[in-house]
Structure 1
């Protein structure tokens, strides 16, 4: 099975926009009610046996099982019979909202995310149709259950033979969008290691440094818009909360954030295609991006968007048949790529790599990218002879003097 997601901008009517808004609000209430049910169960199990708290206690029978996705779906059926307004929303959409809450708890247990929080008004921005029926797509329009045909701007053609598995309707400040997930019953082989090797080192001085000597300066998308953002946020703070002027000023802030995010993503896509133009294998560092975002330079790391760039680069490599792999990132800037000797830790101000053992000198980031390329070649099982030649990663080969 092969899945692809296509994103298109919707062109709904005013009645359809009002319907979308009502559905988002009902999904938000279902989400908050299910979260409160789970939170109360957890709090009832956290109180002490021999003492009560000063304010209140959650008294739930000891034989009551923990609320799960299945039990809350059964409760949703009973709630739809009791509250008729829930029948206006497709039952599958509300079930997907409960599944979203379940995934939030799974992420809390398995990925150390925080405890799920309640969503205030306006924070629920999407809902999902897991089933669309037969032939839901027309020429520039899509048929949504209980809503009908909705027009969208078909900016690209959709290949034939795919089955629409689900549709996600998303609300953004620039309008409404639909994300169509299509599935083809085909097996697409993964790219195999071949061609020229390219190691990539990312950083804040140079966003990308490649093993063949290419240095790309980091654009400061958020830093350039920060002055304008400060003025817009000051304008928001001066408005009465909830007024029409407050909503208008808040919309301007959201538009600026979306503009910055779109510029960053567009630049990442163009750079990924430039990298894939002359490479058959691409190796990058497996960085701890969460740790970088929480460090002293976290604001600049988030502005650079290393994680988004790696995801886009991996997608671009897959589409263009380029092999992509992440390698160990430890001590890439402390090892000489020419002789393999560890040169020691460098200060951030030291931008040149100079090996005291072999005398190899190059830019610090380029040397780290060459080490990444060497580790990538070793990971895919290439011979030591290819590593020694160094012709794929830009390392000069030390010529042996002829014996007379």
Structure 2
């Protein structure tokens, strides 16, 4: 099975927009109620059994089971008798909202994410139709369950032979969008190692440094927009909270954020295609992106969007038949790519790699990219020739 997701901009009428808005609000209320049930159950188990708390006390029977996705789906079905507005939303859409909460708790336990938080008005921005059976798609028009046919701007064609598995309706400041997941009963071959290998090192001075000596300067998407963003946020703070002028000012802030995100994604895609032009294999560092985002330069790391760039680069490599692999990122800037001698740590101010053992000198980021290339080629079983001495190595550098 092979899945692809296509994103199109919807062109709904006023009645359909009102339906989307009401569905988002109902999904938000269901999400918050389910989260409250789980949070109360956890807090009831943290109370002392021989004394009541001075602040709050959650009295829930000891034999009450922990709320789960299955149990809350049953409660949702029973709640439709008391709350008729729940029937206006397609049943599977509400179930997907509960599954979204379940995924949030699983991520908290397994991926060290934070505790799920309640969503205030306007924070729920998408809902999902998990099944799209029957005839759902025609040129520039989409049939959504319980809503009907909705026009959309078909910016590109969808190849025939695929089946629409699900549709996600997404609200952005620029309008409403639909993300269609299409499935084909094929298994496309994965790209195999071939051609010229290229190592890539990412950084803040140069966004990308390649092993063949190219440096691509990082555009400062968010930093360049900070001055305008500060001005717009000051205007928001001067408006009466909740007024129409406050909403208009908030919309301008959101539009600026979306513009910055679109510019960043567009640049990442163009750069990924450029890197794939002259390479049959691309190797990148397997970085701890969460740790980088929480460091001293976290704002600039998030502005560069290393994680998004790696994801887009991997997609473009698969699309163009280029082999993509991540390698160990430890000590890539401390090893000489010419003789594999460990030169020691460098300060951030030191931008030149100069090896004391062999005398090889080059840009620090380019040297790190060359080490990444050596590790990548060794990982796929290729022998690597040293730059000057003609030596070979067939093992990854640790």
TM-score (norm 1): 0.96
1:302 and 2:289 correspond: no
1:232 and 2:212 correspond: no
CA distance in 1, matches of 2:44, 2:99: 23
Q: In the alignment, what sits opposite 1:381?
A: 381
Cα deviation, 1:280-304, whole Å, max 9, x if unaligned, reads 0000000111111111111111100
CA distance in 2, matches of 1:333, 1:132: 50
Q: In the alignment, what sits opposite 2:394?
A: none
CA distance in 2, matches of 1:55, 1:234: 37
Structure 2: segments with no counterpart, 5+ residues: 392-398
Residues 150-169 of structure 1 aligned to structure 2 (within 5 Å):
150-169=150-169
Q: In the alignment, what sits opposite 1:343?
A: 343
Pairwise CA distance, 1:356: 1.1
CA distance in 2, matches of 1:323, 1:19: 45
Pairwise CA distance, 1:227: 0.4
CA distance in 2, matches of 1:193, 1:85: 56
1:129 and 2:129 correspond: yes
1:206 and 2:206 correspond: yes
Structure 1: segments with no counterpart, 5+ residues: 400-404
Cα deviation, 1:82-137, whole Å, max 9, x if unaligned, reads 21111000000000000000000000000000110000000000000011220100
Q: In the alignment, what sits opposite 1:280?
A: 280
SS in 1 for 2:310: helix
Residues 11-50 of structure 1 aligned to structure 2 (within 5 Å):
11-50=11-50
Q: In the alignment, what sits opposite 1:98?
A: 98
SS in 1 for 2:296: coil
Pairwise CA distance, 1:56: 2.6
CA distance in 2, matches of 1:346, 1:37: 52
Pairwise CA distance, 1:397: 4.6
CA distance in 2, matches of 1:82, 1:343: 71
Q: In the alignment, what sits opposite 2:188?
A: 188
Q: In the alignment, what sits opposite 1:112?
A: 112
Cα deviation, 1:19-50, whole Å, max 9, x if unaligned, reads 10000000000000000001110011011122
CA distance in 1, matches of 2:343, 2:121: 56
Q: In the alignment, what sits opposite 2:395?
A: none
CA distance in 2, matches of 1:140, 1:320: 28
SS in 2 for 1:61: coil
Q: Relative to structure 2, which stretch is displaced further, 43-52 or 214-223?
A: 43-52
CA distance in 1, matches of 2:56, 2:200: 56
Residues 169-184 of structure 1 aligned to structure 2 (within 5 Å):
169-184=169-184
1:86 and 2:99 correspond: no
CA distance in 2, matches of 1:299, 1:127: 30
Q: In the alignment, what sits opposite 1:7?
A: 7
CA distance in 2, matches of 1:352, 1:120: 50
CA distance in 2, matches of 1:216, 1:55: 56
Q: In the alignment, what sits opposite 2:372?
A: 372
CA distance in 1, matches of 2:57, 2:205: 54
Q: In the alignment, what sits opposite 2:221?
A: 221
SS in 1 for 2:216: strand
CA distance in 1, matches of 2:233, 2:49: 49
Pairwise CA distance, 1:381: 1.2
CA distance in 1, matches of 2:147, 2:389: 67
Q: In the alignment, what sits opposite 2:312?
A: 312
SS in 2 for 1:226: helix
CA distance in 2, matches of 1:368, 1:203: 11
CA distance in 2, matches of 1:375, 1:182: 36
Quote the RMSD (CA, aligned, Å).
Answer: 0.9
SS in 1 for 2:253: helix
SS in 1 for 2:81: helix
Count of aligned positions: 391
Q: In the alignment, what sits opposite 2:396?
A: none
Residues 313-332 of structure 1 aligned to structure 2 (within 5 Å):
313-332=313-332
CA distance in 2, matches of 1:51, 1:41: 18
SS in 2 for 1:21: helix
CA distance in 2, matches of 1:223, 1:380: 39
Pairwise CA distance, 1:398: 5.1
Q: In the alignment, what sits opposite 1:71?
A: 71
CA distance in 1, matches of 2:357, 2:15: 74
Pairwise CA distance, 1:396: 3.9
Q: In the alignment, what sits opposite 1:402?
A: none
